[in-house]
Chain A
Amino acid sequence: DAGVIQSPRHEVTEMGQEVTLRCKPISGHDYLFWYRQTMMRGLELLIYFNNNVPIDDSGMPEDRFSAKMPNASFSTLKIQPSEPRDSAVYFCASSPLLRSGTGYSNYGYTFGSGTRLTVV
């Protein structure tokens, strides 16, 4: 498997423009997560999906942020309008169902390479 694929790797945009980040999860994974990483706040969960349905979007900063998962193999995170404070690395991650009863399982969330967003 190619892993979690994110695009673009780098994005530079002007304040006020719309930005769309894309993610292709690992085939068969039930969960998809969007994280943001900044020096000040570290790694923050923005939203996650289970079987394409948004489960928890409490981490989305404000209405300028929206995320969709139209099918099991694709998700987008959109910022409109973008602001300089949105500059960060955005990670997408996917995971199979974690709960395995009392069994021991040595897998975890697989992260994509991230999109480095710079809003000027």
Chain B
Amino acid sequence: AQKVTQAQTEISVVEKEDVTLDCVYETRDTTYYLFWYKQPPSGELVFLIRRNSFDEQNEISGRYSWNFQKSTSSFNFTITASQVVDSAVYFCALSEHQGGSEKLVFGKGTKLTVNP
């Protein structure tokens, strides 16, 4: 069965610090998708990124970057120069491709607090 582990339950940083959110996943399939979602205090789930299992290139989008390493089954998320508006719960998720499954399984989330 697929599983996503976000070992960091809560992280607190001071504005402008860099912060990395860890995500480790388990899957038996060779084709799968990894996602990150942001849930701000208002409660909606905001899609940040999707990564295919056969594409290990790192991704950078502004202050956000993602490091995908199949060798360690990790898909970590780094926020550079954090801002108060980054305060939210961040979820890593996994979707398997084979077997007709399109289930998106979420980790428990990491609550990030950025203090001014």
Where chain A touches its partner, the secondary structure class is strand
A107 to B49, CA, bound (A): 7
Q: Does B35 contact A (CB under 8 A)?
A: yes
Give the residues in chain A near B107, CB-CB below 8 Å: 42
- Residue pair B47, A110 in contact (C-beta under 8 Å): yes
A112's closest neighbor in chain B, by CB? B44
Partner of A42, one of B35, B44, B52, B108: B108
A91 to B45, CA, bound (A): 9
Chain A interface extent, by class: 20 to 34
Partner of A105, one of B44, B47, B50, B105: B50
A99 to B37, CA, bound (A): 19
A 85-117 binary contact with B (CB < 8 Å = 1; else 0): 000010101010011001011111111011010
- Residue pair A48, B103 in contact (C-beta under 8 Å): yes
B 67-107 binary contact with A (CB < 8 Å = 1; else 0): 00000000000000000000000010001010011111111
- Residue pair B91, A111 in contact (C-beta under 8 Å): no
User: What's the least CB distance linking A110 to chain B, in Å?
Assistant: 6
A106 to B60, CA, bound (A): 13
A55 to B102, CA, bound (A): 9
Mark A residues whose CB is within 8 Å of B. 31, 33, 42-43, 45, 48, 50, 55-56, 89, 91, 93, 95, 98-99, 102, 104-111, 113-114, 116
Q: List 25 A-B contacts (CB under 8 A).
A: A42-B106, A42-B107, A42-B108, A42-B109, A43-B91, A45-B103, A45-B104, A45-B105, A48-B103, A55-B102, A56-B101, A56-B103, A98-B33, A102-B54, A105-B52, A107-B50, A108-B47, A108-B49, A108-B50, A109-B35, A111-B44, A113-B43, A113-B44, A114-B44, A114-B45
